């Protein structure tokens, strides 16, 4: 009897590209992370992790016995300077051996440039393997020439297959590996395409595993989606030791490198760079650079001394309030949390009596900086009110303070260093929360302590 050849159907599974959740059928919204339209069909052929990776990196699970914690000898982690002090600062004082560092950022922001520069200086003492999956060796060489790289211990390979990368690592035995980028690396056992959650997760897992086992430090470069997350792998952020984000506008020359997770140092530390014709240069006195272009005698601007990590940074808050064209007025925020704008306009409406129901409100932090701390609230409120009433602020005045729903101005941290920095940059007056007055020290600025938003607005518009 002749039997028809039955085509075996390959099993597929739908994977959420945002969190990695898997479902046997398609769903419009991921039930785990609530992202819409994020499920993508993939072949379900995930190999078990224990089988993955070349032999030399396989763990022998049975050998590790639990030990009492106090019997384990403390060893200080070994750190290496990248030769770029702003990068070292963000890493918490250099790269820790065997650590995995994920660097994310928009395309063209300078991730490859930064890591090639760091590789070059690391390669003066150590061996570095730069895996360029996105660009050819020639392209990387051109870039390296432009940056003036010359270390002979810096090795480049253009490769995207993870197992071949492991082979190169095994033969070369480098101290540092740079993967540019994790989204183009793939593992052959998996049928899903490079960049999918399954691929990124598995490749990330194996590289992390290799780093821990061998003491090789690994830098992963990751692309960022439109929403600002590192594409696909939220899973990857949990896995690695350090997550750095490169921020800034690619058309402007300043770049901020921010640590959002760091197992070996403090987060919120930032590094500031300037993109020049010869790569990224460190900015050693960054505090004033974001306020240089501020217009004077124009309404809608306020200067706020913010604290980034351990250092003060003066930023310019810009606001524009205009009559709304649509029934629902627009609120737009750049460099600051959107919800804070809604909250601050609500407080201005209820506690000060300014009307926003028929006005669009736009708020922007100049220079592509992102500010997360609440000390910026008062600056936002004052910039918005200033534009709404079309009264310009005293250009020599800085403002700071958190706003509560009652319209009260709450005390903030690091008041003294904020004031010192403002004074250093030539400001003559500061509006501060009353609760901070005793901690403010004796700066040469004129201090105006305020308890309520209304009081603060009266004080700034008196001029």
Task: Give yes or no for residue 271 binding ligand TYD (CB under 6 A).
Answer: no
From CA 38, how far away is CA 18, in angstroms rounded?
7
Q: Are 255 and 272 in contact (CB under 8 A)?
A: yes
Residue 84 Cβ, how far from ligand TYD at the closest point, in Å? 14
| Residue 463 sits in the site that holds ligand TYD (CB under 6 A) | no
Least Å distance between CB 113 and ligand TYD?
A: 3
Using the contact rule CB under 6 A, the part of the chain among 31-39, 103-111, 157-165, 389-397 near ligand TYD is: 103-111
Residue 112 binds Mg ion, judged by CB under 5 A: yes
424/116 Cα distance (integer angstroms): 35
Contact yes or no for 146/275 (Cβ under 8 A): no
Q: Which of residues 27 and 147 has its CB atom nearest to ligand TYD in the complex? A: 147
From Mg ion, ligand TYD, none, which one binds at residue 286 (CB under 5 to 8 Å depending on kind)? none
Asked if 179 interacts with ligand TYD (CB under 6 A), we say: no
Q: Smaller CB distance to ligand TYD: residue 53 or 110? A: 110
> 223 vs 370, which CB is nearer to ligand TYD?
223
Least distance in Å: CB of 229 to ligand TYD?
A: 16
Q: How far is CA 291 from the centre of its chain?
A: 22
Options 16, 84, 275, 385; binder of ligand TYD; rule CB under 6 A: 275
Interaction partner, residue 463 (Mg ion, ligand TYD, none; CB < 5-8 Å by kind): none
Among Mg ion, ligand TYD, none, what binds residue 216 when CB lies within 5 to 8 Å by partner kind?
A: none
User: Is 117 one of the binding residues for ligand TYD (CB under 6 A)?
Assistant: no
Query: Is there binding between residue 103 and Mg ion (CB under 5 A)?
Result: no
| 228 touches ligand TYD (CB under 6 A) | no
Q: Tell me which residue has its CB nearest to Mg ion.
A: 112
Q: Does 281 participate in binding ligand TYD (rule CB under 6 A)?
A: no
Interacting span for Mg ion (CB under 5 A) from 87-95, 110-118, 261-269, 328-336: 110-118
Please choose, out of 61-69, 141-149, 399-407, 444-452, the segment that lies near ligand TYD by the rule CB under 6 A: 141-149
Task: Tell me which stretch binds ligand TYD (CB under 6 A): 62-70, 106-114, 283-291, 318-326.
Answer: 106-114
| Closest CB to ligand TYD among residues 149, 422 | 149
CB of 117 to ligand TYD, least distance (A): 9
- Segment near ligand TYD (CB under 6 A), from 28-36, 85-93, 139-147, 194-202? 139-147
Contact with ligand TYD (CB under 6 A) among 24, 31, 47, 108: 108
Please tell me whether residue 94 binds ligand TYD under the rule CB under 6 A. no
Place of tokens 């419009």: 28
Binding site for ligand TYD (CB under 6 A): 105, 107-113, 143, 146-147, 275, 277-279
Binding site for Mg ion (CB under 5 A): 112
């Amino acid at each position: 009897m002749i039997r028809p050849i039955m085509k075996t159907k390959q099993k597929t599974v739908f994977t959420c590209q945002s969190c990695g959740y898997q479902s046997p059928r398609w769903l419009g919204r991921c039930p785990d992370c609530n992202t819409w339209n994020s499920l993508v069909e993939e072949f379900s052929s995930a190999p078990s992790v224990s089988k993955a990776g070349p032999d030399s990196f396989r763990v022998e699970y049975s050998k590790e016995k639990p030990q009492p914690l106090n019997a384990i000898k403390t060893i200080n982690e070994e750190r290496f300077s990248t030769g770029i002090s702003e990068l070292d600062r963000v890493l918490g004082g250099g790269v820790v051996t065997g650590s995995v560092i994920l660097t994310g950022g928009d395309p063209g922001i300078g991730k490859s440039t930064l890591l090639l520069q760091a590789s070059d200086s690391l390669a003066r003492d150590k061996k570095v393997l730069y895996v360029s999956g996105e660009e050819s060796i020639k392209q990387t060489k051109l870039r390296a020439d432009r940056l003036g790289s010359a270390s002979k211990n810096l090795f480049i390979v253009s490769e995207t297959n993870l197992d071949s990368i492991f082979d190169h690592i095994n033969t070369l035995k480098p101290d540092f590996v740079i993967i540019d980028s994790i989204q183009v690396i793939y593992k052959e056992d998996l049928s899903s395409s490079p960049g999918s959650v399954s691929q990124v997760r598995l490749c990330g897992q194996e590289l992390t595993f290799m780093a821990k086992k061998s003491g090789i430090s690994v830098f992963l470069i990751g692309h960022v989606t439109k929403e600002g997350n590192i594409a696909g792998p939220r899973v990857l952020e949990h896995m690695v030791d350090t997550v750095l984000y490169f921020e800034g506008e690619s058309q402007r020359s300043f770049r901020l490198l921010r640590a959002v997770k760091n197992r070996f140092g403090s987060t919120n530390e930032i590094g500031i760079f300037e993109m020049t014709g010869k790569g990224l240069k460190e900015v050693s006195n960054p505090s004033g650079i974001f306020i240089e272009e501020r217009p004077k005698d124009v309404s809608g601007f306020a200067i706020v001394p913010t604290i980034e990590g351990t250092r003060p940074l003066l930023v310019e808050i810009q606001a524009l309030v205009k009559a709304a064209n649509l029934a629902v007025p627009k609120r737009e925020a750049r460099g600051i949390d959107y919800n804070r704008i809604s909250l601050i306009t609500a407080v201005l409406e209820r506690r000060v009596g300014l009307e926003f129901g028929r006005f669009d409100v736009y708020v922007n932090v100049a220079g592509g900086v992102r500010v997360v701390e609440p000390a910026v609230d008062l600056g936002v409120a004052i910039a918005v009110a200033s534009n709404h009433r079309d009264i310009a602020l005293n250009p020599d005045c800085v403002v700071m303070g958190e706003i509560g729903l009652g319209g009260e101005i709450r005390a903030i941290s690091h008041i003294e260093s904020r004031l010192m920095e403002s004074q250093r940059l030539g400001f003559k007056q500061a509006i501060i929360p009353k609760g901070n007055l005793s901690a403010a020290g004796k700066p040469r600025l004129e201090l105006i302590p305020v308890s309520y938003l209304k009081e603060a607005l009266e004080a700034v518009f008196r001029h």
